[in-house]
Structure 1
Amino acid sequence: MLVRCARADDPYATIKVRNPNAREVVFTTKISFKDRNGFTFMDGTHQVSVPAKGTTSLRVAFASAGASLDQLDHCEVQPTATADW
């Protein structure tokens, strides 16, 4: 779940990953940073360990070589993270 997109005063997007399982799991998440036309400046996958029945926050830096934060319009997060058993 996207909590907050990157912005000028904090160039990190924050996402939360919830684990409904009864054991700790490493999840792979995907986030994309896009301009107002839907062009993707940067996207990537990140792994995060989430405790059983818990939630973990992950901060992802906006670090695109070809774009600046003033061009960033929104962030998109894949709605379901992949569990890496």
Structure 2
Amino acid sequence: MKLKLTPTQNLCVGFLETGFELIQVDDQFFFVKGDRKQKVLPKTLDALVNRGALQTTQEGTYELSDEFKEYRQQMRSTEEVKHIRH
């Protein structure tokens, strides 16, 4: 897994982490939560899959991969330790 993400890829991960649902309408993808809607390009989703951050489910939807969730949890724990030490 390539862990370094672009700002756009990080934004997409943030949408998923904060409860946005990723939906497809025709050939376009959107993050949706309530009345908020943000378009995302298929190539961005493909890049996130290639980097190991997203995986596709059997239903064909996208979700954060278990490996990526573990990585994010480790990063948060490391950041908490850094804040405590300073």
- TM-score range (shorter-chain normalised) is under 0.3
User: Whose radius of gyration is greater, 1 or 2?
Assistant: 2
**TM-score for both structures, normalised by structure 2:** 0.26
**Relative contact order, CA 8 A, sep 6+: which one is greater?**
1
Structure with more strand by fraction? 1
**TM-score for both structures, normalised by structure 1:** 0.26
Structure with more helix by fraction? 2
